[in-house]
Amino acid sequence: MARQLDEQIVGRFPVGQRLRVLDVGMGQGTQALRLARAGHQVTGLEQDSTMVAVARESLAGEPEGIRERMRIIEGDGRDTGVHFLPGSFDVVLCHGVLMYVEEPDPLLAGLARMLAPGGLLSLLVRNGDALAFRPGLSGDWAGALAAFDTVSYRNRLGLDVRADRLKDLTSTLAGIGAPLHAWYGVRVFTDTAADGAQAPADVETLLAVEEKAGRTDPYRGVAALLHLCGVRG
């Protein structure tokens, strides 16, 4: 997904431009730190105090220049308007968050308002059109059958969460003024790998296969996750 995001950034902004980035629901800060290391000014917003502590610990181990380019705020992604002025960011990330939000439209509208004109909104969501794949490939036929008619599922943490369909999010993004510009599949072939599974010896080939599948039809349409990129008009 990082390669997909970099592709969109390079294609949209002048080379060398220091971007203002907001990472909503940044978790432990993996993407936020990566972008700060690349020279961008990054703000991470996260409501989980444990994740905030992990991110701050990671940031503390970075060189001073990177520490100065990144700030971490503990707060709810639905309250971006409390913390920031509209149009304050060139790039807004919201990765792995929507599945935990029962009504995502207000959150998405708030994220779009944070974007400057021409800004990039990057979403990573569970693919509601492919929920039957994981149970089906594992031989859970009852679970696979039930998954065809729902966007609800139980994740690997045992939490009941929700997925999003590409058609619905395309309509939502158009409605909030950040229409879909590009989309990719993420974890096309590797979604059934066990948590903590050892990476194969030829990991670069695996990544090349996933990257190719993530941008190629029909494979990207059955990926476990979708990476959607909208652009503020």
Say what the pLDDT of residue 96 is.
96
Q: Return the half-sphere exposure (C-beta side, CA atoms, 13 A cut-off) of residue 38.
A: 20
- Per-residue pLDDT tens for 126-155? 999 999 999 999 999 999 999 999 999 999
205: its two tokens: 């080939």
Statement: residue 198 has pLDDT above 80 = no
* The pLDDT value given to residue 196: 66
Q: pLDDT per residue over 6-62, tens digit each?
A: 999 999 999 999 999 999 999 999 999 999 999 999 999 999 999 999 999 999 999
Tell how strand 152-154 and strand 89-95 pair up: unpaired
Tell me what pLDDT residue 131 has: 97
Tokens found for residue 64: 């001073």
- Report yes or no: 69 and 42 within 8 Å, Cβ to Cβ: yes
Looking at the whole model, is its pTM more than 0.75?
Answer: yes
In the predicted model, is pLDDT for residue 195 greater than 90? no
Position 157 scores a pLDDT of: 87
Please determine, for residue 197, whether its predicted confidence score (pLDDT) is greater than 70. no
pLDDT tens-digit map of 90-125: 999 999 999 999 999 999 999 999 999 999 999 999
Instruction: Label residues 5-30 b or e (16+ Cβ within 10 Å = b).
Output: beebbeebbeeeeebbbbbbbbbbbe
Tens-digit pLDDT profile for residues 149-178: 999 999 988 999 999 999 999 999 999 999
- Spatial separation of the C-alpha atoms in residues 195 and 125, rounded to whole Å: 19
The residues facing 73 across adjacent strands are 45
Task: Identify the CA nearest to 180 among candidates 120, 218, 229.
Answer: 229
Q: What percent of the chain has pLDDT over 90?
A: 91
162 near 99, Cβ under 8 Å? Answer: yes
